[in-house]
Amino acid sequence: MANLSPRRLLPLLTSPHKGGRAALTCRFRCGNQCAHDVLNTSDNAYFGDVVAEAMSRRGVLRAGALGALVAGVGVTTAVPAAADPAVEARTASGFGGDRHGGSGLRFTAVPPNTDDKVTVPEGYETAPVVRWGDPVLPGAPAFDFENQTAAAQAAQFGYNCDFVTFFPLGQQRGLLWVNHEYTDENLMFRGYKSGDTASEEQIRIALAAHGGSVVEVERVGRSGRWKLVTQGRRRYNRRVTAQTPMAFSGPAAGSDLLKTAADPAGARPLGMLNNCAGGTTPWGTVLSGEENFNQYFVNGNGVPEAQKPSLTRYGVSATTGIPSGNRRFDRVEERFDLAKHPNEVNRFGWIVEIDPFDPDSTPVKRTALGRLAHEGATTSLAGDGRVVAYMGDDSRFEYVYKFVSRKRYIPGFDRHNRTLLDEGTLYVARFTGDSPAAEIDGTGKLPADGLFDGSGEWIPLVTGDVSHVPGMTAQEVLVYTRLAADKVGATKMDRPEDVERNPVTGGVYVALTNNSNRTPAQVDEANPRPSNKHGHILEIAERRNDAGATTFAWSLPLVCGDPDDPSTYFGGFDKSKVSPISCPDNVAFDAEGNLWISTDGNQLGAHDGLFAMPVRGSERGHLRQFLSVPVGAETCGPLVSPDQRSVFVAVQHPGETNGATPEAPTSHWPDGGTSQPRPAVVVAWHRQGKKIGS
């Protein structure tokens, strides 16, 4: 790998986000968040500076030193403590062992492209499973783009699909849960201009198109293909929308901060909004994360003065009445007007638990997991059986969190297990570089402990009703979690999105998509570059490989971008043999522990895609593109089926490009011809029945 100039830094250290997303996506998905001021104005350390300091302390800034850093601390062979008691004896940090391990990945990479289709490797096929507007509830009408109604949409598959998870119903049938993150009214309705002029029915359609869907699917023959079940009872099928009655649980339920005129007890929120990624629980429920909820509200300038700082910290303008581009949900539901209902915004930004097997159950917003721009929540078990949920706050300079339950998971004891996410400790991460200065001679030689690494700790914010943050009550910590994390000195990150634990190695992986704005104060002679536009993957090994631990080590197995750029890094693998990748978003794992990465906002001139990379063995870092999505689309999901014969991907916002309208669409996927683009979940499979990745 070529050396870097001493005055050139790694791309992860700085950041404006430009060029990868269309203006429509920025407007409708997050309310043009990157165009606004950075919300986190705390003096907390920034992760890019942590890495820069670790490198500069060695007196050398070069790709070789980075390679030593990431290779030295990679969780290449760690295994869950419960599965391998010897791991504790090997090393107190959770690292160690050899680099052997088969990946099972043998497919030929898909080249970067700009085709208006889903492209997969030779030997694979792909097909839509369910599309925007497909009937979900029995009796729902067929989709009719020209004659949409709110009543129909509430019974049909919602708009922009994101998180996908699968629950088997035997070998031939199963349930898909799919999040519906946001609506793009500009593509949904002809002649749409703004929320100010939209019809009330269009606004109600948009409310109904948010949320999530449970749909029954069936296998096609003995193949890896799945299709939507369209006949019969379909007793599990369900739509959850922005108007579905829900419940609060946990320590903040009933807080004065959650009470409204319509719900004076602060116990019954209505609906969920902007649900991005998610996870599942060991007891078979869905966890869905509310993300960019701030963009749906108006008249933040009319809230009480004491509430304005917290409103601003969560991205709601406290000085503007009607933000530009607002959907104006307040025109049909007064609760979105904060001047009249200032606490309504506090009722969003939670992890929502949904039972896919009980369509009559009430979704629950679990307040013990904190309130933030939740990308999702993925669960694991600590060595002693406690449930752990990992979470990212998807915004510039925000934080990584985890929750550890007080009580232990008991297989089969459903009534007990459904209380586990209501009582426990919420933590936020602090990252540091820890190479001993006396052992660093500037040559790149490893210190005595054999590691160029970083370390970190999980800082407790709240345990049950007890706050660990001076000056804040437990309920305040949970409702204003960002402010609490600011106070305890958490480390600012580059848009932490999906956080998942590898079921084979036990390593925890964080997708850090990019950072669109690094302030001038964070640029100096040692940190001159203002760009982390391609993002990176963070790898964490918790002490003794226990998800319940409060300390960890970290490394960077993947620094994204063009492999020809010497500042990129692919786990030490030969970069002439890897695929270019930009803006990692969601991650998943297959049965061999390979890392699968979906991207959002590719800034290398090609479409987004799905990539696979071994994290151990001689193939560690051999990243290959498995799939690409159509014009204007983002790759969401992804999900490798339990039998590894199928991979599901949510194709979000196809055709969402600058200037696109129903009169002038820029994509006709998935229906082809002159059709309008429709977000959809697709499945890919090997035509010979081989495992995904073969």
430-475: pLDDT as tens digits: 988 655 445 434 333 334 543 335 889 999 999 999 999 999 999 9
C-alpha span between 71 and 73 (Å, rounded): 6
What would the pLDDT profile of 323-382 be if each residue is shown by its tens digit? 999 999 999 999 999 999 999 999 999 999 999 999 999 999 999 999 999 998 999 999
E strand intervals along 169-257? 173-180, 211-219, 226-228, 238-240, 247-249
* For residue 194, pLDDT beyond 70: yes
What would the pLDDT profile of 675-684 be if each residue is shown by its tens digit? 999 999 999 9
C-alpha span between 682 and 164 (Å, rounded): 10
The pLDDT score that the predictor gives to residue 22 is 76
Q: Could you tell me if residue 414 is left (phi over 0), alpha (psi between -120 and 50 degrees) or otherwise beta?
A: alpha
The sign of the dihedral angle between the CA atoms of 399, 405, 408, 411 is negative
What would the pLDDT profile of 265-319 be if each residue is shown by its tens digit? 999 999 999 999 999 999 999 999 999 999 999 999 999 999 999 999 999 999 9
C-alpha span between 385 and 409 (Å, rounded): 6
* Mean pLDDT value across residues 12-22: 45
Angle between helices 63-73 and 47-56 (to 10 degrees): 110
Q: Quick check: 667 and 631 in contact, CB under 8 A?
A: yes
Contacts of 424 (CB under 8 A, 6+ apart): 368, 386, 387, 403, 404, 405, 406, 407, 463, 464
Position 220, amino acid: V
C-alpha span between 635 and 625 (Å, rounded): 12
pLDDT-based confidence at 395, cuts 50/70/90? confident
Contacts of 48 (CB under 8 A, 6+ apart): 12, 13, 14, 15, 494, 515, 518, 522, 527, 532
Q: Quick check: 243 and 130 in contact, CB under 8 A?
A: no
Backbone angles phi, psi at 92, to 5 degrees: -70, -20
Task: Identify any residues that bridge with 352 across adjacent strands, giving them in sequence order.
Answer: 288, 365
The pLDDT score that the predictor gives to residue 53 is 64
Q: Quick check: 42 and 524 in contact, CB under 8 A?
A: no
C-alpha span between 68 and 73 (Å, rounded): 9
Q: Quick check: 293 and 273 in contact, CB under 8 A?
A: yes
Q: Quick check: 14 and 460 in contact, CB under 8 A?
A: no
- Choice between 74 and 50, residue whose per-residue pLDDT is larger: 50
**545, two tokens:** 């490989």
The pLDDT score that the predictor gives to residue 453 is 52
The pLDDT score that the predictor gives to residue 97 is 30
C-alpha span between 492 and 514 (Å, rounded): 12
Nearest by Cα to 122 from 107, 105, 112: 107
Nearest by Cα to 302 from 343, 264, 360: 343
Contacts of 306 (CB under 8 A, 6+ apart): none
Q: Quick check: 525 and 424 in contact, CB under 8 A?
A: no
SS3 634: strand
CB atoms closer than 10 angstroms to residue 586: 31
> DSSP class of residue 285?
-
Average pLDDT of the residues of the chain: 86
**149, two tokens:** 């109604």
End-to-end CA distance of the chain: 29
Q: Quick check: 631 and 656 in contact, CB under 8 A?
A: no
* For residue 143, pLDDT beyond 90: yes
CB atoms closer than 10 angstroms to residue 259: 16
SS3 580: coil
Side-chain half-sphere exposure of 318, counting CA atoms within 13 A = 16
* For residue 74, pLDDT beyond 80: no
Please report, rounded to a whole number, the percentage of residues in the chain having pLDDT higher than 70.
82
Contacts of 11 (CB under 8 A, 6+ apart): 529, 531, 532, 533, 534, 536, 559, 560, 561, 565, 567, 568
pLDDT-based confidence at 63, cuts 50/70/90? very low
Judge residue 79's burial from the number of C-beta atoms within 10 Å of its C-beta, 0-12 exposed, 13-18 middle, 19 or more buried.
buried
* For residue 546, pLDDT beyond 60: yes
The pLDDT score that the predictor gives to residue 26 is 67
* Mean pLDDT value across residues 17-31: 63
Task: Identify any residues that bridge with 682 across adjacent strands, giving them in sequence order.
Answer: 128, 649
Please report, rounded to a whole number, the percentage of residues in the chain having pLDDT higher than 90.
74
> DSSP class of residue 110?
P
The pLDDT score that the predictor gives to residue 32 is 62
> DSSP class of residue 664?
B
* Per-position DSSP letters for 464-484, written without gaps between them: TTEE-STT--HHHHHHTHHHH
The pLDDT score that the predictor gives to residue 102 is 59
The pLDDT score that the predictor gives to residue 454 is 82
What would the pLDDT profile of 475-509 be if each residue is shown by its tens digit? 999 999 999 999 999 998 888 889 999 999 999 99
DSSP alpha helix (H) spans, 368-437: 414-417
Map tokens 């391609």 to a residue.
534
Q: Quick check: 426 and 369 in contact, CB under 8 A?
A: yes
- Choice between 406 and 97, residue whose per-residue pLDDT is larger: 406
The pLDDT score that the predictor gives to residue 153 is 98
Side-chain half-sphere exposure of 587, counting CA atoms within 13 A = 34
**217, two tokens:** 């699917």
CB atoms closer than 10 angstroms to residue 436: 10
C-alpha span between 585 and 156 (Å, rounded): 27
Map tokens 């309705």 to a residue.
189
* For residue 394, pLDDT beyond 70: yes
Q: Is the peptide bond before 447 cis (omega within 30 degrees of 0)?
A: no
C-alpha span between 302 and 297 (Å, rounded): 12
What would the pLDDT profile of 571-604 be if each residue is shown by its tens digit? 899 999 999 999 999 999 999 999 999 999 999 9
The pLDDT score that the predictor gives to residue 523 is 31
C-alpha span between 183 and 420 (Å, rounded): 33
User: Which of 71-85, 184-198, 238-252, 637-651 has the weakest average pLDDT?
Assistant: 71-85
What would the pLDDT profile of 502-533 be if each residue is shown by its tens digit? 999 999 999 987 765 544 444 322 222 246 78
**441, two tokens:** 């001679």
Q: How many residues does the chain have?
A: 694
Judge residue 412's burial from the number of C-beta atoms within 10 Å of its C-beta, 0-12 exposed, 13-18 middle, 19 or more buried.
exposed
CB atoms closer than 10 angstroms to residue 599: 31
Report angle CA 170, 279, 459 to the nearest 5 degrees.
145
C-alpha span between 295 and 195 (Å, rounded): 12
C-alpha span between 468 and 489 (Å, rounded): 13
> DSSP class of residue 72?
H
The pLDDT score that the predictor gives to residue 20 is 64
C-alpha span between 430 and 234 (Å, rounded): 46
